[in-house]
Amino acid sequence: MIVVKQPIGLSRPTLCKLNRYPPGGVLVLFGIMLLAAQCQAPPTLPLPAPPTGPAIRIALLLPAAGELATFGRMLQNGSSMAFDEWNSRGGLLGHRIEWTIYDTGCQFDMARQAVQQALDDGLHFIVGPLCSEAAIAAADLAEAAQVLMISPTATHPLVTVSGQGQTRSTVFRAAFTFPQQGEAAARFAYETLDARKAALIADPTDDYASSLTDAFAQTFESLGGNIVYQAAPPGSEPDFTGILETIADSQADIIYLPAMPTEANRFASRLSQLKPSTLGDTATPILLGSDRWDSDELDLAVTTGSYYTAHFVLEDPRPVVQSWREAYKSIYATEPNTLAALGYDAAMILATAIEQAGSFETTLVAETLAEGHFSGVTGQISFDGSHNPIKPVPMVRIEAGQRKFVRLITGQPQMLNFQ
């Protein structure tokens, strides 16, 4: 396990440029698909003078070495940017913020070791881990020790809720969960796209995809829509011909496909080829995907006209997003991505809750988080009874080879029950 001590007034390290974080995977936010990243050293920039006096120490849990380190760096960039902002304003409750990086990789056992080391070092506040598998391990120890943890990116329900269904009192997350994303997709399909019949394509052995389609189906039907077809992706029929012919017969308005981008490419390509012969006079169903599509591997030509849910959209025109985007670029000499935005929000929410609580007592800060309302670059954020964020879900349209911000889906999740 690597432990990196991060002093205040840090020098900016060489930054790895990654345009988009690729999604997918069972216990990982968006999953971990290893895309090539170009690295560059940004210009040295003046940093604010750190406040003097005592320090409050915070653990950053993330992948710090190996092939996942690029993703950890994006998360670290966002979090340290937030901490730098607090220090430039005089610190937190009269204390300067210092942080230590503990390498968790994306592994359960490695994360447990990292959290135990942070506890042994006397740290009581944690931002991270990145991956759900590591975050579940960290959450067990954090809850037992009553240290406060907020994961920026882990989306599996068992991060903030125990296996017995009890909310972990000191564990929160900044990214919405699988079911919340599926609910938002269903509301968008029904209310914005006027879809009334939906087809669902998902592998039942994939926790991520099945959670999204289950949530989509429950919400879509509660609004008055009908699920007219549901199937797993064909393992021996890569051109999707049989599925598409059945969907055409069902007259589905929309196809919900929370699949990996390569699979979405194949499906969209075959759908385009089959339009004249298979669909006839029937209108072509609209493809609707998930945050897994927020990847450079998605073919923007064959998926044009489709939509997907995201956690953060760089082109969101809200002033808070664009001003933060410019500030990030001025520091790191590259565009921010979803990991950076969620890392920034998690760190900022934690610091704000400490300030509002007026204390470093973790139980008081947890109560403040549970009851508070916070402003972030990913939206206005509060927390439900399971410590999941209640915040808008961005929708993206693929148009003319580009990703276009469409709108934010707002409204409190329906708190559907998923095992």
Per-residue pLDDT band at 90 (split at 50, 70, 90): very high
What does DSSP assign to residue 232?
P
Question: What's this model's pTM, rounded to 2 decimal places?
Answer: 0.85
The b/e string for 397-418 (b: 16+ C-beta within 10 A; e otherwise) is ebeeeebebbebbeeebeebee
Mean pLDDT score across all residues of the chain: 86
pLDDT in tens, 162-213: 999 999 999 999 999 888 999 999 999 999 999 999 999 999 999 899 999 9
| In 206-354, beta strands by DSSP E | 226-231, 254-256, 286-289, 307-309
pLDDT at 241: 82
- Kind of pairing between the strands at 3-6 and 96-103: antiparallel
Q: Indicate the pLDDT class of residue 27, thresholds 50, 70 and 90.
A: very low
Question: Which comes out higher in pLDDT, residue 258 or 273?
Answer: 258
CA dihedral 319, 322, 325, 326 (to 10 degrees): -100
- Percent of the chain at pLDDT > 70 equals 83
For the segment 100-150, what is each residue's pLDDT rounded down to a tens digit?
Answer: 999 999 999 999 999 999 999 999 999 999 999 999 999 999 999 999 999
Specify the pLDDT at position 32: 33
Confidence of residue 52 (pLDDT cuts 50, 70, 90): low
Residue 296 and residue 132: Cα distance in Å, rounded? Answer: 22
pLDDT attached to residue 313 = 95
Which among 238, 239, 209, 222 is positioned nearest to 230, based on CA atoms? Answer: 209
Distance from C-alpha of 301 to C-alpha of 92, rounded to nearest angstrom: 48
Banded pLDDT at 283 (limits 50, 70, 90):
confident
As a whole number of angstroms, the distance between CA 289 and CA 310 comes to 9
- The tens digit of pLDDT for each residue in 171-185 reads 999 999 888 999 999
CA atoms of 223 and 214, how far apart (whole Å): 14
* Tokens encoding 137: 């391990």
**Model pLDDT for residues 287-320, shown as the tens digit of each residue:** 999 999 999 999 999 999 999 999 999 999 999 9
Domains and CATH numbers, the chain: 3-176+316-387 (3.40.50.2300), 179-310+397-409 (3.40.50.2300)
